[in-house]
A and B are shown apart, each in its own frame.
Chain A
Amino acid sequence: MDNLDRSILNRIQKGFPITSRPYLEVASQLGISEDEVIERIKGLKKTGVIRRLGGIFDSRKLGYKSTLCAIKVPEERIEEVAEIINHHLGVTHNYLRNHPYNMWFTYIAPSDEVLMNALHQIKKETKIDDLIHLPATNFFKINVNFHLKEDA
């Protein structure tokens, strides 16, 4: 990744142009060609720097309910339980963390009822009852935007 890649990333992480020729707009701001912008973005996607290009939606605004859950999984069952949990489409993130509650996952569902049923289902499928349900009650910051230094 070079400086131009960093400039492009800084420009397109937020406020991607909503105009007929968005790549041309980015290109003219950076003083390069539209083709080069497109090729660079293709490259950044290929190497995995860009996970996805598109819209990130606010689940609450769309009427969806989301939560964070932590579950206590015995060491020898980690892979198996991760697979059971990941199988649910509403699970968007799932990580192993350094705590007795070692598996942390997020669940997004179209309603509270669907959400609670899904968590119940997960307890049943994993045969683990020790699950804490931590839906956010106050949102102070939701922002995943990384500024990349362009001098390196």
Chain B
Amino acid sequence: MVLTEIDKKIIRILQEDFPLSPNPYQDLAKKLEIEETFLLKRIEFFIDDGIIRRFGAAVKHREIGYEANAMVVWQVEDTRTKEVGKIMAGFEEVSHCYERPTYPQWQYNLFTMVHGKSKEECEEIAKKIAHSVGVWDYRLLYSSQEFKKTSMRYFCE
């Protein structure tokens, strides 16, 4: 899919703070010098096509009571990664689940982000997942400090 210059302008403006006015799309359309109906159609297309993964409010999970989040890394046999990844993705406490490459100094190939109210809860969740997939070689990596957390700005380079 080739994005037009106007598409890129729309994407750029949707990465900024969305207006908190009664007619936010009309406000954006005016800035972009396009019709509001055209803007609404393009946004709907971006969502249908998956270019926009989610449209709405990004919430800080610490602020809503998910104090602990662990990156759980798993060492899974190569032949089982697809099957295991799908099962792990089915847990509602898991927000992200990816397969990643391994190196001699790094043997964990499945990554899940697990969210809980406490470290103990994260450990319980990881144990529950381990039981369901039969994988026992895993570690919970907690973030002790956040140095940066931003949204990517596309088409701004």
Residues of A within 8 A of B (CB): 1, 9, 12-16, 18-24, 34, 38, 41-42, 44, 47-59, 61-62, 64, 68, 70, 82, 85-86, 89-99, 101, 103-105, 108, 110, 130, 132, 134-146, 148
CB contacts under 8 Å to A, within B111-144, are 111, 115, 139, 141-144
Tell me the nearest residue of chain B to A142, going by C-beta. Answer: B96
Q: Choose from B85, B149, B152 the contact partner of A140 (Cβ within 8 Å).
A: B85
| Given contacts A138-B98, A145-B54, A59 and B154 within 8 Å (CB-CB) | yes
A24 and B147 within 8 A (CB): no
Question: Which of B25, B50, B105 is close to A20, meaning CB atoms less than 8 Å apart?
Answer: B25
List 29 interface pairs A-B (beta carbons < 8 Å), by A numbering: A1-B64, A9-B59, A14-B54, A14-B56, A18-B47, A20-B26, A21-B23, A48-B60, A49-B60, A53-B20, A54-B58, A55-B52, A57-B53, A62-B11, A82-B148, A85-B147, A90-B152, A94-B148, A95-B146, A99-B141, A104-B143, A108-B152, A132-B103, A139-B97, A141-B88, A141-B96, A141-B97, A143-B96, A144-B54
Q: Separation in Å of the B141 CB from the closest CB of chain A?
A: 4
Residue of A23, A68, A138 with most chain B CB atoms under a 10 A cut-off: A138
Chain A residues closer than 8 Å to B115, beta-carbon distance: 146
Residues from 54 to 102 in B contacting A, C-beta threshold 8 Å: 54-61, 63-64, 66, 71, 81-82, 85-86, 88-89, 94-101
Report yes or no: A89 in contact with B153, Cβ–Cβ below 8 A: yes
CB-based contact B23/A132 at 8 Å? no
Report the interface size for chain B: residues with CB under 8 A from the other chain. 74
B16 interface hit (Cβ, 8 Å):
yes
Specify the chain A residue showing the minimal Cβ separation from B157.
A110
A sample of 18 more A-B contacts (CB under 8 A), given A54-B14, A104-B143, A110-B157, is A12-B57, A16-B57, A41-B20, A48-B63, A50-B60, A51-B59, A53-B20, A54-B18, A56-B52, A56-B53, A57-B152, A61-B49, A93-B149, A96-B144, A104-B141, A132-B106, A140-B88, A140-B99
Contacts of A99 in B (CB 8 A): 139, 141
Chain B residues near A89 (CB, 8 Å)? 153, 157
Give B123 Cβ to nearest chain A Cβ, in Å.
13
Bound complex: CA A89 to CA B145 (Å): 19
Contact A55 B94 (CB under 8 A): no
Taken residue by residue from 1 to 44, chain B's Cβ proximity to chain A (1 for < 8 Å, 0 otherwise) reads as 10100000001001111101111111000000000100010011
Q: Name the B residues within 8 Å of A139 (CB-CB).
A: 97-98
Q: Which residue of B lies closest to A62 (CB)?
A: B154
CB neighbours of A57 from chain B (8 A): 11, 15, 51-53, 152, 154
CB distance from A53 to the nearest CB of B (A): 4
Picked from A54, A61, A136, the residue with its CB within 8 Å of the CB of B15 is A54
